[in-house]
Amino acid sequence: MYDLIEKYFVEIIGLLGTLLGVLLGAFLNRISRYGRVKFYVNDVKHNLSERDDFGGFKIVESITPKTESLSINIDLDLINTSEYSKKLLRDIKFLSVDKNYNKTKIIKDNSTRRMSSSLILVDDLKFINLQPKEIRNLNLSIHFKEDFEKILNSEWYLEYRKLNNKKRKIKINK
């Protein structure tokens, strides 16, 4: 048996190298098919509005007792890095999360348990379907009628669900 291995050693090494190359190629091909969705936030603007003397709205610099609305405009690019598969983003939502929010904090109230929540959910999209290697520009406009100071002082996120129903959050830097 050892004589046979010594005689065909070069051929056996070549065969094993070929099999290893095929398996490695299949594995790398499988990885390249997955890809992911990348988010690039191009611009974030917010405007505070109050009524002027003629019944219209004017933009103001700071929050006053007459402030009636806050609008946030987010310009972002979505990129599907996969070469072969489509990516589906569902239930896209804007979240404003208080910086002092603690997800694990539970308040006990007469043996009733409830989560302390500081989340404000405002605008949402149903879904976005990205083709392989597609780049899509998305402009979101969100409007608030109350809690202006709380929203401006909180952290902003976009939350979405992937095809397998996993939630993902992307932080938006102001």
Instruction: Kindly report, residue by residue over 23-72, the tens digit of the pLDDT.
Output: 999 998 887 777 888 999 999 998 888 888 787 778 888 888 888 888 88
pTM comes to: 0.66
Q: Do 155 and 100 form a contact (C-beta atoms < 8 A)?
A: no
Residues of the chain with pLDDT under 70: 99-125
Strand partners, 167: 161
* Strand segments (E) across 14-110: 37-51, 57-60, 67-80, 87-97, 106-109
Q: Does domain 35-172 have CATH number 3.40.190?
A: no
